[in-house]
Amino acid sequence: MTHLILVLVAVFCIRLFKFAYNTIWIPFRIQNHFKKQGVTGPGYRPIFGNMPEISRLFKEAISKPSPLHDGDHDVLPRVAPFYHKWCNMYVKPFLYWSGSQPRLAISDPNLIKKVTMNTGGGSFDKIGFDPKGKILFGQGIIALFGQQWALQRRILNHPFRMERVQACWLPDIVVETCKMLGKWEERRAGRDEFQMKVFKQLHDLSADIISRIAFGTFFEQGKRIFSLQEQQMQFFSLAVKSLNIPGLREMCTLDKETNESIRALIPTNNETREESSSFLSLLMGSDEEERLGEEEIIGKFKTFYFAGKETAANALSSALLLLGLNPEWQDKAREEVIPVLGSNKIPVAKNLKDLKIVN
């Protein structure tokens, strides 16, 4: 019994030492290392780092009216209040802490380029995913390093060639956009003015376009898959904010269903890929030496959804907001579009070069 107690005490002391070493000794040593080079920042707080202050600054920023209401386009204090505060307090770059993990905030474009060009075997490396991030992105390209990243990037160059995008995917984008605008016209019902919330509809539009591009004739199955991923994203946000274990469990359940749904479409697309230009068919049509496995294809779709849907929908929402706040730019856009497209002409790829302001 005495020996057992001694063993347990020894294990506890070892774990306590490792914990103190990782959360106290290493962070303070890193902080002193940067301080000697003139890089400062908000001081490290054991275990939590600067996360409590970051959370507080976000809450303060959200509680204030948006600066856009006053015509002020300086949104940095609202979208990244911690960066806005600390970059004015400390010499750039500055060091802050996500828990016990250091984060170096840089803003110099040349330095950013140097960092991004030297990841994966170079002087810098990507931050790895935690378990929640791995569930969301799988074996997508943003999770890869070095030669693996280079190979996947080369494979993805094929489906994203501009001539292919314009010939095969642009018509689908136009069709889905016209459907949405038609619904808006029905809702307008001949009125000169009406109000509607477009943010959700633009996200639906983005999801519909990506589903059609990604899965082609299997569009409806694609929408179901992206719906599962959207639910995963909601549980991801819950798990991140509250360390919610049930949220993580739900993510795993949805991830399993998502993977099985994509996996079920792979043999079907394999039979019809000769006559299809969908993203799935193009990935499966790679050279034998560079052909992707099932898990790699699944990872590409997860990345395609999160990188494509969210960014496109948010960019469209922001553009409409800025146009609403600046009516004079609406007039400039109309003056350019009407001579090129008329009042009802559907745009095609060759029209884009004539739309300087809109682009």
* pLDDT tens figures, 188-198: 888 888 888 88
Predicted pLDDT of residue 203:
86
| Mean pLDDT, all residues of the chain | 78
Q: Answer with the residue of higher pLDDT: 135 or 60.
A: 60
Confidence class for position 289, pLDDT limits 50, 70, 90: low
How much is the average pLDDT of 39-66?
87
Residue in the block written with tokens 């770059």: 93
Q: Tell me how many degrees the CA angle 56-126-86 measures, rounded to the nearest 5.
A: 30
Q: Tell me how many degrees the CA angle 46-84-107 measures, rounded to the nearest 5.
A: 95
Lowest mean pLDDT among 20-29, 291-300, 318-327: 291-300
Closest Cα partner for 146 from 123, 119, 171, 177? Answer: 119
For residue 291, pLDDT over 70 is answered with no
For residue 162, pLDDT over 80 is answered with no
Predicted pLDDT of residue 86:
92
Phi, psi of 113 (to 5 degrees): -60, -40
- Are the beta carbons of 183 and 205 closer than 8 angstroms? no
Contacts with 45 (C-beta within 8 Å, 6 or more apart), sequence order: 52, 97
Q: Which residue ranges form the domains of the chain, and what is each CATH number?
A: 2-107 (no CATH), 154-325 (1.10.630.10)
- Are the beta carbons of 105 and 93 closer than 8 angstroms? yes
Structure tokens at 288: 């034998």
For residue 268, pLDDT over 80 is answered with no
For residue 272, pLDDT over 60 is answered with no
Confidence class for position 31, pLDDT limits 50, 70, 90: very high
Predicted pLDDT of residue 252:
78
How much is the average pLDDT of 70-79?
77
Predicted pLDDT of residue 239:
62
Lowest mean pLDDT among 4-8, 38-42, 236-240, 285-289: 285-289
Distances (CA, A) of 278 to 50, 155, 281, 350: 45, 15, 5, 22
- Are the beta carbons of 304 and 160 closer than 8 angstroms? no
Each residue's pLDDT tens digit, 100-109: 888 888 888 8
pTM, whole model, 2 decimals? 0.71
Catalogue the long-range contacts made by 80-85 (C-beta closer than 8 Å, 24 or more residues apart): 81/57, 82/50, 82/53, 82/54, 82/57, 82/58, 85/57
Helix, strand or coil for residue 71?
coil
- The answer, yes or no, to whether the previous bond of 159 is cis (omega within 30 of 0) is no
136 vs 230: CA distance, rounded Å: 10
- Are the beta carbons of 115 and 103 closer than 8 angstroms? no
Highest mean pLDDT among 18-27, 65-74, 122-131: 18-27
